Amino acid sequence: MCGIIGYCGPRPAAPILIEGLRRLEYRGYDSAGIAVGRDNALTVIKRAGKISNLRGHVTPEMPGIIGIGHTRWATHGGVTDENAHPHTDGSGKIAIVHNGIIENYQPLKDRLLAEGVHFASETDSEVIAHLLAGFYRGDLEAAVKETVSLIKGTYGIVAMHSDEPGRLVGARNGSPLVLGVGEGEMFLASDVTAIIAHTRQVIYIEDGEVISVTGRDYRTTDLRDNQIVKHIDHVGWELEEIEKAGFTHFMEKEIHEQPEAIRRATTGRIDHEFATGHLGGLNLSNRELLEINRVKILAAGTSYHAAMVASYVLESIARIPTTAELASELRYRNPIVERNSLYFAISQSGETADTLYAMREVQRKGGRVLGICNVVGSTIARESDGGVYIHSGPEIAVASTKAFTSQLTAFYLFALIMGRMRDVSFEQGARFVEELESVPEKIERILADTTRIQDLARRYARYDNMLFLGRGINYPVALEAALKLKEVSYIHAEGYSAAEIKHGPIALINEETPSLFIVPDDGLRSKVINNMKEVKARQGRVIALAVEGDQEVEAIADDTLFVPRSSELMYPFLMTVPTQLFAYYCAIERGCNVDQPRNLAKSVTVE
Ligand code: M6R
């Protein structure tokens, strides 16, 4: 979604802002702009469409050593130059960029309109610039505090005033903001990826905090002006990790990074001596873990599919009733929070509004929520009562791939811990560890030759509809496969339990609606084969995702992809990877913008 970058220091601001905006592109956006200050005046350049539309207007020589930039993902008002950020007040002396949604903007706007203020855009954000102008009496920080006290909703804001040429002021409520501390220069951003080319020293701004920044120092206070001492965190990511490293797209790169990401997610977390896992961040004693008799996992999108797989694994090996919960639904269901239930909030970005608010609702009722996040220092990671980082490295493509398999890894380790405290024997635990540790190498085998998947994608990318069908623990894999295909290729795809198609979706089957069946050699194999035959009998084309050497399945299907043989519980890893590649190559075939699909945002920070 929207992205923010701010710069304050001795260097020309414009190129730094544009570079920062490029690093934020992956979040998804539809317009972009910058404001640069020099000689007590601001220059604002903003355009609908891609950052490249600013080219010709922004030059490296553009004067100004302070500025703010923004990528907008439209919520209030269409995709126009006027609605792009930064927004200014009537005098043009104040410029602001804003992420989030101002829920009470209409009454605020009505009041300002009644006072004769002219609005140049249809956005909720513009009220901030006009409110600031009304409150400004020579102190931007004070004006920001008065302004945000009136605002209801979520915001990450950065403001500048031409009368205070060396200062940026940021404020946060529910929308991330991070300060990058450089050598004689400072950066404000919604996301560390925008600034790690310049500095790894960061300070995460919390809700209710206001930060006032010059090139040399910063001051953080709350809305009552109490000073807050912040500590500097070090970002572990390397710059190369947010670059394509020879791959054509980030999605392709991230698919290929999965073996390494899974290894990283298990590093230091397997205790071979006791054939169990070790997740230090859970902040729960063994006694507390033993008392847990129910697990609920809050998530959205791909993370929700990971949660569904996790529920099968936890129930299967730890015998603990586990449910995956759509965070957006749970929050408004007046959830029943029981003693001895353990909650997880699982989110790649750690900023997904639906998941964050559901987590807060559970915590408010006294529930304990652990976070499983990728982005270090993200809001869910910080607000949860403990948790696990999956350490997959930055995931830049909007379509989540490596985070999914790393999330599974974290849950498999948790399931192992819980299982070993209950009925799983040492031998069973050791076998589970061995199987989990063999997953990266098996994925490497799949990735070593993708030509067959490319060939399939070339032939199937012309279809407008597709079904993905799996059973048991591979049912969520089918859901995830369908989500991936529709996200990046815009082919309409549905995931179903293979058993369910006879209850309705089979009506869709004809020669123009192919089905991809996930057919591992598990206890449900013969039933899935029957489902395949039902589709074949209705002239449906069938792609099977089967286990090496499964000639029976190969003989039924029109096309077959094979994955290495494995134990039942590990197939979600192995079956997922070919479906990711299939979606990727279909998108390429259809000429889609793979890394930034239309209308989508990487981190969905609005409800
Ligand atoms: O950052 P999160 O894991 O919380 O994101 C949740 C979803 O928004 C996300 O998985 C989304 O569905 C992706 N585009 C999937 O590829």
pLDDT in tens, 433-459: 999 999 999 999 999 999 999 999 999
349 pocket-lining for ligand 1 (C-beta < 6 Å)? yes
**What pLDDT, in 10s, does the model give residues 115-135?**
999 999 999 999 999 999 999
Q: Where are the alpha helices (DSSP H) in 62-214?
A: 105-114, 126-135, 140-150
pLDDT value, residue 276: 97
Say whether pLDDT at 371 is over 80. Answer: yes
- The Cα 9–Cα 215 span in angstroms is 4
pLDDT value, residue 319: 96
Sign of CA dihedral 160, 164, 166, 169: negative
**What pLDDT, in 10s, does the model give residues 137-194?**
999 999 999 999 999 999 999 999 999 999 999 999 988 999 999 999 999 999 899 9
What is the CA(50)–ligand 1 centre distance, in A?
23
Which of 139-145's residues contact partners 24+ apart within 8 Å by CB, and which partners? 140/94, 140/164, 140/167, 140/169, 140/212, 141/167, 141/169, 141/210, 141/212, 141/219, 141/221, 144/169, 144/171, 144/210, 145/171, 145/210, 145/221, 145/223, 145/225
Residue 345 is which amino acid? A
What is the CA(241)–ligand 1 centre distance, in A?
19
Across the range 186-204, mean pLDDT stands at 94
Q: Which atom of ligand 1 is nearest to the CA of 484?
A: 16
347 pocket-lining for ligand 1 (C-beta < 6 Å)? yes
Six-digit token pair at 499? 């058993």
Residue 479 is which amino acid? L
Say whether pLDDT at 478 is over 80. Answer: yes
Q: Which atom of ligand 1 is nearest to the CA of 403?
A: 3
- Atom 7 (ligand 1): residue with closest C-alpha? 301
Name residue 587's beta-bridge partners: none
pLDDT value, residue 27: 80
Using only C-alpha atoms, the chain has a radius of gyration, in whole angstroms, of 25
- Cβ neighbors of 326 (< 8 A, separation 6 or more) are 299, 300, 304, 354
CA angle 78, 82, 87 (to 5 degrees): 115
**What pLDDT, in 10s, does the model give residues 54-92?**
877 877 667 788 999 999 988 888 899 999 999 999 999
Pairing of strands 515-519, 542-547: parallel
pLDDT value, residue 454: 97
DSSP three-state, residue 32: strand
What is the CA(237)–ligand 1 centre distance, in A?
20
- Atom 4 (ligand 1): residue with closest C-alpha? 347
pLDDT value, residue 377: 85
398 pocket-lining for ligand 1 (C-beta < 6 Å)? yes
Across the range 219-236, mean pLDDT stands at 93
Strand locations in 146-268 (E) = 155-161, 168-173, 178-181, 186-189, 201-204, 209-213, 218-222, 233-234
CB 413, CB 366: distance < 8 Å: no
- The Cα 8–Cα 460 span in angstroms is 51
Nearest of 195, 192, 226 to residue 209 by alpha carbon: 226
406 pocket-lining for ligand 1 (C-beta < 6 Å)? no
pLDDT interval class at 547 (50, 70, 90): very high
Say whether pLDDT at 222 is over 90. Answer: yes
Please give the mean pLDDT across all residues of the chain.
94
CATH numbers and ranges of domains, the chain: 3-236 (3.60.20.10), 245-441 (3.40.50.10490), 449-607 (3.40.50.10490)
pLDDT value, residue 60: 67
302 pocket-lining for ligand 1 (C-beta < 6 Å)? yes
Name residue 202's beta-bridge partners: 180, 233
**What pLDDT, in 10s, does the model give residues 584-597?**
999 999 999 999 89
211 pocket-lining for ligand 1 (C-beta < 6 Å)? no
Q: How many CB atoms lie within 10 A of CB 8?
A: 25
What is the CA(454)–ligand 1 centre distance, in A?
25
301 pocket-lining for ligand 1 (C-beta < 6 Å)? yes
**Edge-to-edge strand list for the sheet holding 465-470:** 492-497, 465-470, 515-519, 542-547, 559-563
Say whether pLDDT at 295 is over 80. Answer: yes
- The Cα 190–Cα 102 span in angstroms is 17
In a mutational test of the pocket of ligand 1, which residue from 254, 308, 347, 594 has the highest number of ligand atoms less than 8 Å from its CB? 347
Across the range 403-414, mean pLDDT stands at 98
Across the range 467-479, mean pLDDT stands at 97
pLDDT value, residue 287: 95
What is the CA(322)–ligand 1 centre distance, in A?
21
Using alpha carbons, list the distances in angstroms from residue 426 to 417, 423, 430, 568, 570: 11, 10, 6, 19, 19
Number of H helices, E strands in the chain: 18, 26
Annotated catalytic residues are 2, 602
In a mutational test of the pocket of ligand 1, which residue from 302, 369, 372 has the highest number of ligand atoms less than 8 Å from its CB? 302
pLDDT value, residue 19: 94
Q: How many CB atoms lie within 10 A of CB 505?
A: 16
What is the CA(88)–ligand 1 centre distance, in A?
33
**What pLDDT, in 10s, does the model give residues 498-543?**
999 999 999 999 999 999 999 999 999 999 999 999 999 999 999 9
- Atom 8 (ligand 1): residue with closest C-alpha? 301
- Atom 14 (ligand 1): residue with closest C-alpha? 399
Across the range 469-481, mean pLDDT stands at 98
